[in-house]
Amino acid sequence: MSKILAVLGATGQQGSGVVDYVIRDPELSKQWMVRAITRNVDSDKAKALKEKAEVVKGNATDRAALAKALEGVHTLFAMTTPVFGVDDPLEAEFQVIKTIADVAVEQGIQYLIFSTLPSCRDISNGKYTGVAPFDAKAKGKEYIETLPIKSSFYCRGSFMENFASQAMLAPRPDPNQMPLIDAIGDGGKWVGAILREPGRYEGKTICAATRMYSLKEIAAALSKSTGKNVVYKQVSNEEFANSLPDVLADLFVDYFGYINDYGYYGPGTVEKVEWAAKQARGKLSTLEEFLEKHPYKLE
């Protein structure tokens, strides 16, 4: 009998990638029945998912609804999104993570795969405190590790998908390097590895990315994709901040400053990414291959 794998945030980039990978994998699709959890079961994305998996309504801000959605689940893949417009975005997102983890334990879920990120605050010894989405997920990971539930951690790099929506400016000089991942196309390859051998990865953090890319390499790949001359240009922190909405300025200035000083995953970033790439089930997409499938457009 198939076990139930619940995917929280199943209509998003991470969740949809996990759902698609598991249901298409010849081995995992026989072992797991996928339950896609989403806030809006009537959205177009949710309706499309109904052709592939069980779709149920669930929201971490509604504890009772979440508990119901997790009934009978063996393994949960969980991710959270940043909380903006509040006094303490770190604590606000952490409370969401805590609710998910607590309900998972209460429902008797046996294994939790949590999508985490490194703590910029801790790795920088308090130098960079503005990257709440990273710090909240790192705090969530620490909390999960104290609970009576088996767990492992999917710590993804920067999404290749972000090139369609984020400006490629940075406040620090090269050689900044970014670990890049095709979140939709490849994310499931690491989660699938955990599902296949949960004992092997229990307690481990997989720093998921194809490889490290310098910003100059990224610019060159975007140039090839667009047929236009895309260059990496260093700007001051002030100029960079002024190019962003106020709610994002401090976050991204600290984010790129942290990466420049400490590396995306902190000490040993390159080695962590190299190890993680070897754990994926299947070939990973390079940035160039991703851009061939999803051409970058400059308006």
How far apart are alpha carbons 182 and 20 in whole angstroms? 13
**Beta pairing class for 111-116 and 150-156:** parallel
Q: What does the pLDDT look like over 50-98, one tens digit per residue?
A: 988 999 999 898 999 999 999 999 999 999 999 999 999 999 999 999 9
CA–CA distance, 286 with 209 (Å, rounded to integer):
10
pLDDT digits (tens, 9 = 90+) for 172-190: 444 568 999 999 999 999 9
The whole-model pTM stands at: 0.93
Domain ranges (residues) in the chain: 3-159+180-210+265-282
User: What residues form DSSP beta bridges with 178?
Assistant: 213
- Superfamily the domain 3-159+180-210+265-282 falls into: NAD(P)-binding Rossmann-like Domain (3.40.50.720)
DSSP-assigned letter for residue 164: G
